[in-house]
Amino acid sequence: MAMTQMAMTHPLRIVGAPGSPYSRKLRAVLRYRRIPHVWILNFSKESRGLPEPPVRLLPVLIFPGPDGGEAAIDSTPLIRRLEREFAGRSAVPPSPALAFLDALLEDYADEWLTKCMFHYRWAYAPDIDFAARVLPRWSAIDKSDAEIAPLSKQFAERQIGRLGVVGSNEKTAPVIEASYRRLLALLNARLSESPFVLGERPAACDFGLYGQLTQLVGFDPTPMAIARAEAPRICAWIDGVEDLSGLAVGEDEQGWLGAGEITESLRALFGEVGRVYAPFLLANARALEAKKARVECTIDGQLWVQDPFPYQAKCLRALREGYQALAGTERGQVDAALRDTGCEVLF
């Protein structure tokens, strides 16, 4: 039985949480692509007894199969797997050059913008208090305040303890917060030209940005207040991307920017990637190669210090492999789009 037919009778199951940006990202893709699925809250009674993924991260996407199915993780490769197994309403551009640019922006959203999300949530007292009181309740809505209180304390302490891994500290805070405000302004400018980053239909990078922004714009008090004051267009965009199942799109080749249509507003977004994310990726890779205990570099003219992060070295390798796989003409299109953005140093 083909996967599409099987999904009609055995829908995919996505285990996630509203406070997980990657859960929101993948669920939005499933909705947009009209892939039958069931949303299961993590730690709910419905999540018990499900197949275990190789690493316990959210979201978990369970494909139908023997022994209860296959549990898979990591939103970026999962989006590409869904492209292979389900036809129609593609979220990846057919042009190899545009698909590569899409992947670069998605990676920035997943791996840099998440620093902004984690920083604001666990560095400011009002945000810590709100997250600690709300997040544990999603899988325990009927627990009393007395029962939730110790869970809230444990959850907050555990997450605050991870700030060093993500890169949020007194030295990096100004860089993170300035980059968030610039992203709001740059994305606002881009969305004033087209409804999505790469044209008239959403791409993986839209869903990556959306996932992080569901928290920054829609949940955490401090960054939400900034977005409401400075970028109401993005507040509206987040609400729309939440469920694009009703969006009318043409054939998979339609609705995308052409090779020569990389606007200045889009190039400016890549400029932000080159300004903050590219230097971090290179410094992180160097630290891991030299087996250093700390990543230390200059980003946006300021000192950046954090723990090395092996997964983001994997991201750099994947981006470089994708660039090397491009044919000459396609690579030339990418080079033209990224010229003078600061992203060139990655390749």
Sequence spans of domains, the chain: 13-85, 96-346
CA distance 23 to 211: 8
| pLDDT reported for residue 1 | 42
- DSSP string spanning 147-194? HHHHHHHHHHHHHHTTHHHHT-STTTHHHHHHHHHHHHHHHHHHHTTS
CATH 3.40.30 is right for the domain spanning 13-85: yes
Task: Look at residue 164 and tell me whether its pLDDT is greater than 80.
Answer: no
pTM greater than 0.85: yes
Q: Tokens 């869903």 label which residue?
A: 207
Structure-block tokens of residue 328: 């000459």
Mean predicted lDDT score pLDDT of the chain: 95
pLDDT tens profile 110-148: 999 999 999 999 999 999 999 999 999 988 888 898 988
| pLDDT reported for residue 4 | 54
State which amino acid sits at residue 75: S
| pLDDT reported for residue 116 | 97
Task: Look at residue 20 and tell me whether its pLDDT is greater than 70.
Answer: yes
pLDDT tens profile 77-98: 999 999 999 999 999 999 999 9
First to last CA, the chain: 42
Q: Please name which of 176, 218, 243, 267 lies closest in space to residue 227, comparing C-alpha atoms.
A: 218
Structure-block tokens of residue 300: 């946006």
337 close to 273: Cβ distance less than 8 angstroms:
no
Task: Look at residue 6 and tell me whether its pLDDT is greater than 60.
Answer: no
**CATH domain 96-346 topology:** Glutathione S-transferase Yfyf (Class Pi); Chain A, domain 2 (1.20.1050)
pLDDT tens profile 142-154: 889 898 888 888 8
Residues 6+ apart with CB under 8 A from 167: 115, 119, 176, 280, 295, 304, 306, 307, 309
Task: Look at residue 180 and tell me whether its pLDDT is greater than 90.
Answer: yes
